[in-house]
Structure 1
């Protein structure tokens, strides 16, 4: 009889736990990445660089990368990429109308590649990516930081 009540208790606890978890809505990495991509797309400030840049590509991918590519009017191309798990911190320099977002990594984790440059093609590493943004409120910046931290929880 004791075995039966023990098995019954375990079954009831398992069923109750399963029931409670079915109503929880855990956010996924795809949601965080989607928010970051949407934020960068909506707030990117092309006017800060429009006299030098012909076009740009800025993507935060579901496989864990942030990629930023700039095509200059003189033919030069710059490419920056880092793994989201290497994100350390961010700073914003500017005001609510326009500024630059500095995404910093834990070390030399940003891949930097330049093509068709006067000095030749160069591959190097950096510690940050600088993205020009506009119409950024403090709350927007806090949400961006929060989403980066949810993707990559900081360890003390």
Structure 2
């Protein structure tokens, strides 16, 4: 009987642990992306560039990319894109009312393209994307950093 009880314990304990881990929820990339898109959209400050920029597009995609496109009044277009997995750190320069968010990557991982520029179309690589923000608190910035950091971890 002792042998049977011992074998039962050997089976029951790992099965119970497996059952507990099966119901633990892990945040998905999609949840992080949705949060980042909502944060960037809610806090984007178009008034910082309104004299020069006609419109902009700022997207965080489900396949893990951040894309920022600016359309200038003179017809020039600037496009920035980087894979969120290459995120290194962020810096914010400004106040809670208005400032600039620098999203930095590990290396030259930001694709920078210009179109319709007087100097010609240029394709290059950069290390950061600068996004104008408004009405953002330190807690919001910490949550943005936390979500970006979670995306970079395997």
| TM-score above 0.5, yes or no | yes
Gap change, CA 1:7 and 1:60, over 3 Å in 2 = farther
Structure-1 residue corresponding to 2:151:
151
Q: Distance in 2 between matches of 1:115 and 1:6?
A: 72
TM (norm. structure 1) is: 0.91
User: Post-superposition shift, 1:3?
Assistant: 8.4
> 3-state SS of the aligned residue for 2:42?
helix
2:51 alignment counterpart = 51
Deviations 1:55-82 (A, max 9, x none): 1111111111110001111111000000
RMSD: 1.9
Q: 1:111/1:3 Cα in 2 relative to 1: closer, same or farther (>3 Å)?
A: farther
1:34 aligns with 2:34: yes
User: In structure 2, the residue corresponding to 1:66 is in which secondary structure?
Assistant: strand
Following superposition, which runs of at least 4 residues in structure 1 exceed 2 angstroms of deviation? 1-11
TM-score when normalising by structure 2 = 0.92
Q: Comparing 105-114 with 12-21, which one deviates more in the overlay?
A: 12-21
Relative to 1, partners in 2 of residues 1:71 and 1:7: Cα closer, same or farther, differing over 3 Å? farther
Matches of 1:3 and 1:35, distance apart in 2: 53
Any idea what the Cα deviations from partners look like across 1:72-121, whole Å, max 9, x if unmatched?
11111000000111111110000000000000111111000000000111
2:139 pairs with 1:139? yes
